[in-house]
Structures are given as structure tokens and as C-alpha cells.
């Protein structure tokens, strides 16, 4: 069912490791043309394009794209009390962890009268995307909204695909959680078209462009985010999920297999990878995967994900090699199930989120760990990070010099500006100390 990649007895170079990493055939690059057409359609035709796309892609034409307040109130009233309790606890934990991500304002005195203040300023308006295709993700509402609120974002708009089994409405649980968090600008729109609507705005809906688009989605959502970057900011390209487990002979094959399946059930393009120095564990996990794939609720989806080219069991000589492979893969979720997880952690550079030991499964992070589950996928963790309060903040340096402090460095400025053949830079400083300026 799942392929084996045997790297034992080899010492791959960094380039060779990158080439050995399993990836899905359908990538963000492949999806870009489709995403671009959907975005351009929204730019040209606005609300009508969004309605047409919903009818074609979501198999339902919503009565309205902008969700009325009455539907949000109705969804809150109908929320299962058990789910609400779980949501309330998730909100509490994510809010605590997000608050720790806000850097303090720092003022540094460079010299007498020379002060630099480092402040972190939130963006004003954000578009939050919450997927609802193969599954419904009220937890993603929490993961998007709470850190934005903690950061101080003043205007939040949320988009989620219309549901054919709810008469074209946004899923009621998503609406309820958004309402509980105080988000009332909600749109029944999904996919690349929704990302385009956030980036460029839709005047007919009263939807103003946003400064930042965040949230997970399928490969077309990830492609759309790549396309609009530069028009608006994005968090990361959070597309089809992936999990990589580093495990040794001390790991429990039942738990490793269960964790791989837990992410494989998201999408046929989900990647599930085990990297181990134990052939016995590899065989045991492979056998358990075959069993679980036939009995789990989303058997067809899981089987497709595990048998896809993006999933694998990778055999290596030792845990140092396992860490090197993981760093090349850049997993969204990295589990370390070894005798000494901390020792392996010390070798890890690239990962969206890291889960240590048998009692920190990815499922914990998906819901109530307090960490954020909106993470970079498809190797993006090699150079980007997961969603957090810091995502919504921009570092700004505020420069405040007195007359004497500027005079003390005026000669340096003149010398450097002359060396760069930009004399007007130096002139702008010396003008402040000329007789005319004094007058």
C-alpha cells in the first residue's frame, strides 16, 4: 500500500535528499492556471462570478454570498452544547498561547538623544479562509481568528464554501464559532475565487480588499495565495496536509500508524511519511496501515493518500540521518517518537509544528493543545512558519533623534552619501545646521 524508500548505506547530499523527498504529483504550480482563471473571473464579474463558481464547484448556488446576521444568530443558538464546551476550551488555550507570541515594545538608546523604538503594528484588515470541502473545520475558525484578535487586528472578514446539504449556507458550526468570536462579516464563498475576492475586493458585496489572507485550504487555495502575494500578504501556502514521524525501535507501531492515518483522512493528496532506523518497526507500521485503511471511516480517501507518491516509509541508518531527511522534507507536522525525543529535536531545523513523545499526537495540535494548526505544507516549512499572532504584526522602527544627536553623526552621513554619489542625502542633513536653518 505505501511505498518504501531505502536510504540505508548511503550518504545523500542536501540536493540528493531534496530529490528523494516524496511529493504529490498535483502541486501548487500545476494548480496555478486554474486558480488564476478563477481569480480573474471574480475580478471581472464580482458577486456573479462567486455565485457561478459555487454552483459549479460546490454544487449549490447560495441565496446570498454575504451571510446575514440572522443566520449567524441561528447557528449560535443551534450549536451542540458539547461542541460549544470543546470550542470554548480551544479558544481559551489558543488565546493563552497566542498572547505569548506578541513581542513587547522595546526602546533602545543608541547615544545621548538618539533613540530607536521597535514597535509591532497590526495590519488593519484580514481575510480569514476556513475550508469546508471534504470535512468541516470549526477549529480553523479559532486558529485564524484568535491570534488575529490577540494581535489587535480591527477588521476581520471570514470566507467558507457554501454547503450543498445546508441550502447553500456556510456550515452552521463554522458560522456559530465565528459568531461566538465576534466575527460578523462572513461570506459563503470558497476556493481560489474567495482568495481573489479578499485580495481585490468585491464592491457589489461591500467587500473591501484585505491586507492579509490567512488560513488553510486545498491545493487551489494554496495556488491562489501564491498568485495574490504582492497584492496582499499571505500567511503561508497551507495546502494539502502532511505528517512526518521520526521513530525508532522504542516506538509503538500502533500509535505511529494511527497518527499517519489521522492526517491521511484529510485528503487524497495528504502526505504520510515515517522515517525510521528500525526495519522491524517499518514492517509493523506497514502492516497496521493496511489494516487501518480498510476499517477507518474514510477508507477510500486514506487508501488513496497512503498509496500516493507523496507518502512513504523511509529507512535510514540512524536518527541523525532521519533528522536530515526530515529537514529536507520540511514537514507541516513532525512527530518524534523515539527513546530520547529531545536529542532528535536538537537536530531539527525545519518543521511547521513539532510533537514530542507518544502523548503529543498531531490530533492534539489540531484541536486543544493551544498551538496553531494553520501551518506551511508542501515543504514550505523549510522557509516559512505557522500562523500566530506575529503573522498579523509588522515590525516598525521609530527613529527619534535630537538636534545634537544628529549633529554628532552629520559628518558620517556626508561621507557615506558622497561615497555612494548621493550628495543630496548629506545636504538634507547639513541644511539643518546652516545659518538659514538656524534663522
- In the annotated binding site for substrate, the residues are 241, 263, 266, 333, 366, 420, 425
CB 225 within 8 A of CB 301: no
Angle at 375 between CA 14 and CA 2, to 5 degrees: 60
**Phi and psi at residue 123, to the nearest 5°:** -70, 160
**Backbone Cα Rg of the chain:** 25
Lookup: cell for 372: 496553531
* Of 132, 209, 218, 206, residue with least CA distance to 169: 132
Q: State the Cα–Cα distance between residues 246 and 240, nearest whole angstrom.
A: 20
* Of 371, 316, 321, residue with least CA distance to 347: 321
Q: State the Cα–Cα distance between residues 31 and 133, nearest whole angstrom.
A: 17
Residues 6+ apart with CB under 8 A from 342: 356
DSSP code for 439: -
* Of 46, 171, 122, 205, residue with least CA distance to 392: 122
Say how many C-beta atoms besides its own lie within 10 A of residue 165's C-beta.
Answer: 9
User: Strand runs (DSSP E) across 176-262, as ranges?
Assistant: 185-188, 212-214, 233-234, 242-247
Q: Which residues are annotated as a binding site for Zn(2+)?
A: 263, 266, 366, 425
- Print the SS3 string covering 315-346: ECCCHHHHHHHHHHHCCCEEEEECCCHHHHHC
Torsion of CA 80, 86, 92, 95, to 10 degrees: -90
Q: State the Cα–Cα distance between residues 430 and 416, nearest whole angstrom.
A: 13
Q: Please list the residues that pair with 244 across neighbouring strands.
A: 273, 334
**Phi and psi at residue 188, to the nearest 5°:** -85, 80
Distances (CA, A) of 21 to 344, 356, 405: 19, 22, 55
Known catalytic residues?
Answer: 332-333
CB 180 within 8 A of CB 68: no
Lookup: cell for 113: 538623544
Q: Which residues are annotated as a binding site?
A: 241, 263, 266, 333, 366, 420, 425
Amino acid at each position: 500500500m505505501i511505498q518504501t524508500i531505502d536510504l540505508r548505506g548511503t550518504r545523500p547530499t542536501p540536493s540528493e535528499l531534496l530529490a528523494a523527498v516524496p511529493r504529490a504529483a498535483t502541486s501548487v504550480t500545476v494548480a496555478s492556471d486554474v486558480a488564476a482563471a478563477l481569480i480573474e473571473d471574480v475580478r471581472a464579474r464580482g458577486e456573479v462570478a462567486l455565485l457561478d463558481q459555487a454552483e459549479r464547484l460546490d454544487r449549490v448556488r447560495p441565496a446570498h454570498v454575504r451571510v446575514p446576521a440572522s443566520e449567524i444568530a441561528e447557528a449560535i443558538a443551534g450549536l451542540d452544547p458539547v461542541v460549544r464546551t470543546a470550542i470554548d476550551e480551544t479558544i481559551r488555550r489558543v488565546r493563552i498561547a497566542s498572547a505569548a507570541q506578541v513581542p513587547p515594545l522595546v526602546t533602545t538608546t543608541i547615544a545621548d538623544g538618539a533613540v530607536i523604538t521597535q514597535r509591532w503594528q497590526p495590519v488593519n484588515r484580514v481575510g480569514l479562509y476556513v475550508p469546508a470541502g471534504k470535512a468541516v473545520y470549526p477549529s480553523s475558525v479559532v486558529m485564524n481568528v484568535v491570534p488575529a484578535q490577540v494581535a489587535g487586528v480591527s477588521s476581520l472578514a471570514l470566507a467558507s464554501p457554501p454547503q450543498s446539504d445546508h441550502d447553500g449556507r456556510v456550515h452552521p458550526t463554522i458560522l456559530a464559532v465565528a459568531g461566538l468570536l465576534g466575527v460578523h462579516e462572513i461570506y459563503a464563498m470558497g476556493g481560489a475565487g474567495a482568495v481573489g475576492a479578499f485580495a481585490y475586493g468585491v464592491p457589489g458585496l461591500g467587500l473591501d480588499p484585505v491586507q492579509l489572507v490567512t488560513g488553510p485550504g486545498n491545493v487551489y487555495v494554496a495556488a491562489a495565495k501564491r498568485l495574490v502575494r504582492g497584492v496582499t500578504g499571505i500567511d503561508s501556502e497551507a495546502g494539502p496536509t502532511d505528517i512526518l514521524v521520526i521513530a525508532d525501535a522504542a516506538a509503538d507501531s500502533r500509535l505511529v500508524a494511527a497518527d499517519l492515518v489521522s492526517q491521511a483522512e484529510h485528503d487524497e493528496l495528504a502526505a504520510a511519511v515515517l522515517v525510521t532506523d528500525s526495519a522491524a518497526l517499518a514492517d509493523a507500521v506497514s502492516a497496521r496501515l493496511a489494516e487501518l485503511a480498510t476499517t477507518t471511516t474514510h477508507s477510500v480517501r486514506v487508501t488513496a493518500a497512503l498509496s500516493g507518491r507523496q507518502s512513504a516509509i523511509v529507512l535510514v541508518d540512524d536518527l541523525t540521518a532521519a533528522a536530515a531527511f526530515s529537514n529536507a522534507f520540511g514537514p507541516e507536522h513532525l512527530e518524534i517518537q523515539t527513546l530520547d525525543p529531545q536529542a532528535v529535536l536538537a537536530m531539527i531545523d525545519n518543521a511547521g509544528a513539532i510533537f514530542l513523545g507518544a502523548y503529543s499526537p498531531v490530533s492534539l495540535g489540531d484541536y486543544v493543545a493551544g498551538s496553531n494548526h494553520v501551518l506551511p505544507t508542501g515543504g514550505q516549512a523549510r522557509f516559512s512558519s505557522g500562523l500566530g499572532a506575529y503573522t498579523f504584526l509588522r515590525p516598525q522602527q521609530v527613529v527619534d533623534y535630537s538636534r545634537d544627536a544628529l549633529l554628532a553623526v552629520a559628518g558620517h552621513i556626508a561621507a557615506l552619501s558622497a561615497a555612494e554619489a548621493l550628495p543630496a542625502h548629506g545636504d538634507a542633513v547639513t541644511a539643518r545646521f546652516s545659518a538659514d536653518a538656524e534663522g
